[in-house]
Chain A
């Protein structure tokens, strides 16, 4: 495609030295996009906008926040009470974290359904997983900052995980803490890192989009675009569609902010941190509970490896293993629409992840309906999590007989127009 030539002399002068105008034209306006993307493709732009909201509100909060064990809790309450619209800024940032994960999880499960991770989009996918890891670290660090009971004890439990490693474990924990317990030096470095990581995510998103723009978006049919008849320019078609999606998203997001701002928080975090008093049960935020469930599912030593270490490895492994999904899935067909069996195990895997999240909320020895302990449910769900990725995906790709996808997007689109409804 050819960019228009500009006549304005200032524009021309800049364009010759730094081609921002043609870049914008090529990547945000003319950028050819499959014409059959459904609403699940809105979540990438929503993730980007949420990241921006988090950075902006976070910077304002940092102007009023005091990273000191004696003042952190109080300074947050001052933001809520005395800073102009401080309550709004804080509630947006607080609920924004949950919204960010909700959006990114949907974004990832969209990718899993339509096989967006397959060649040639493996790099795009891998960068996505690194983004997810960085997000988890950022959210954990941020949760410590208000210095409530859950902040303190989550910090203690999670940093203590590293003590599971033989020999180096204890020194690592001391090094992370900057002392011999979670204390002021810990809070200070957590604040510093919580401010840093979102900008790392920003840079990673840039790489993510760079990779996206090399091979362009996948689409619900999971087939390559064959020519201009299959695509439409990004603007105005997807700018307006993304804007409409943003409106719906903001209704949900701000619905929480204004009318149920503490929906996602544990009441214990409104109690100031107290190292002498352990809360009855320590739970992370909902978006980390699946991984917490995996961590706690391992209660048995294997040979000479202690249970705790296996738990830590399983937890980190459960995220890192996603990097291998493009190779674990051996099917050549991208979209689940044309994979009758994958389509079913996909939902089973999704439910498994939700079960893990629910287990992570409950104490392992609590009983579900008096019949089975949450520990046992967590163990079965953890086993299935890895089974799905390590066994079902590779074997299914070999055994399943996929239906044949249509020749091209334009051929399929003129035939049926159910592209939006099916994915739901």
Chain B
């Protein structure tokens, strides 16, 4: 018992030293893909892809997504080819045994900014920008959390908080000090469709894109789900009626 109390006291005092400020709960956003009938807003997806390629792709890979996957959300083969060609990927060895670089093809995964994790850390003051392929599923709060982090940077740090060298205050990141510099600023991209590129707008768009990247079959799933459940509902109702009829002579 004495040992137990000692342990508890120890845990409390130790805990107090490293206690993080309470992180607020991310606010729920009205995502186009929410709900039973939700689908990805196609225009938002295009804008989100633009934000990803022009901003995030400088640091973050998206290695589980292939350029060809974009076809399922309305990109034409030509568009995909053009997009892929902008990136260089390593290939080989060729007949001389040499590795070489070539423009990416639709059958390649999204090109990674760094050849390996060490290079990524070296370029980011020791922090590793995580792969974003399944990011919306890999954090509590999902899309709402991602959006909250992207818009969660504050210029003035609350009193008493000491932000460490090379880190940035972010209200929603656990520990509230993040190694990612604020990635978005008003006008960071120029949208092809003329939408005003506010931080809020770009964040919503890029998170929509990342939600698609993490769950590209979401629309198929919901569509098949509605059909299947409706069918099952009718079938089950009929089975119930049949059960009542068959059992009507049991007393």
Contact = CB atoms under 8 A, between A and B. Distances in A.
B180 interface: no
Contact of B228 (A254, A261, A267, A300): A254
Interface residue SS majority, chain A: helix
A14 interface: no
Given A237-B246, A414-B251, A299 B4 contact: yes
Given A237-B246, A237-B250, A270-B134, A258 B232 contact: no
B243 A241 contact: yes
Contacts of B228: 254, 258
A281 B234 CA distance: 44
A81 B251 CA distance: 53
Interface in A219-261: 232, 236-237, 240-241, 243-244, 247-248, 250-251, 254-255, 257-259, 261
Interface stretch (B42-50, B119-127, B198-206, B215-223): B215-223
A91 B220 CA distance: 13
B170 interface: no
B32 interface: no
A241 B220 CA distance: 32
A108 to B, nearest CB: 25
Given A271-B138, A300-B1, A414-B251, A365 B11 contact: yes
Nearest to B224: A258
A232 B222 CA distance: 42
B222 A258 contact: yes
Nearest to A261: B221
A258 B216 CA distance: 14
A88 interface: yes
Contacts of A74: 64
Among A74, A237, A248, A267, find the residue whose CB has the most chain B CB atoms closer than 10 A.
A267
Contacts of B220: 87
A257 B232 CA distance: 14
A247 B134 CA distance: 33
Interface in B8-41: 8, 11, 15, 36
B217 A254 contact: no
B138 A244 contact: no
Contacts of A299: 4, 7
A254 B221 contact: no
Contacts of B11: 365
For chain A, give the interface size range.
Answer: 35 or more
A81 B64 contact: yes
A258 B139 CA distance: 20
A80 interface: yes
Contacts of A247: 232, 235-236, 239-240
Contact of A244 (B3, B214, B217, B240): B240
A365 B140 contact: no
Contacts of B8: 365, 373
B164 to A, nearest CB: 19
29 contacts: A35-B250, A77-B64, A81-B64, A81-B65, A81-B216, A87-B220, A88-B221, A88-B224, A91-B221, A237-B246, A241-B247, A243-B239, A244-B240, A247-B236, A251-B229, A254-B229, A258-B224, A258-B225, A258-B226, A258-B228, A267-B142, A268-B138, A270-B138, A271-B138, A299-B4, A300-B1, A365-B11, A373-B8, A413-B251
Contacts of A300: 1, 3-4
Contacts of B15: 365
Nearest to A265: B137
B242 interface: yes
Given A237-B246, A300-B3, A251 B64 contact: no
A250 B251 contact: no
Interface in B165-185: 174
A259 B247 CA distance: 34
Given A74-B64, A80-B217, A237-B250, A254 B225 contact: yes
B233 A259 contact: no
